Amino acid sequence: DAGVTQSPTHLIKTRGQHVTLRCSPISGHKSVSWYQQVLGQGPQFIFQYYEKEERGRGNFPDRFSARQFPNYSSELNVNALLLGDSALYLCASSPTSGGPIDEQFFGPGTRLTVL
């Protein structure tokens, strides 16, 4: 079975632009979470979605938004990009809405560079 897939793999944007990152969970998984991992740091939790509803949110500004589609895939949108948004963006899926007890399966990430 295919794992979590993310697109694109790499992305270069300039300050002020908008970006959309995409994630497809493992087949049968209904929950998707997004993380930001700045170089040399641990992942920072951004959002969790289950059945198209937001179930968790980290401490990120409103420039960050996400949504989940009926097929459980998800998009992460970031508006008005800042240099500090340069990071690896990770998507993780889990089979249930069990929330914090769920084992999460991570994708390879999207490397975003903001110039």
Q: Which listed residue (1, 2, 39, 40) binds other proteins by CB under 8 A?
A: 40
Alpha-carbon gap, residue 28 to 62, rounded angstroms = 30
Between residue 41 and residue 60, which ones bind other proteins under the rule CB under 8 A? 41-45, 48, 54-58
Q: Which is nearer to other proteins, 15 or 53 (CB)?
A: 53
Applying CB under 8 A, does 101 fall inside the site for other proteins? yes
Q: Which residues sit at the interface with other proteins, rule CB under 8 A?
A: 3, 33, 35, 40-45, 48, 54-58, 88, 90, 92, 99-101, 103-109
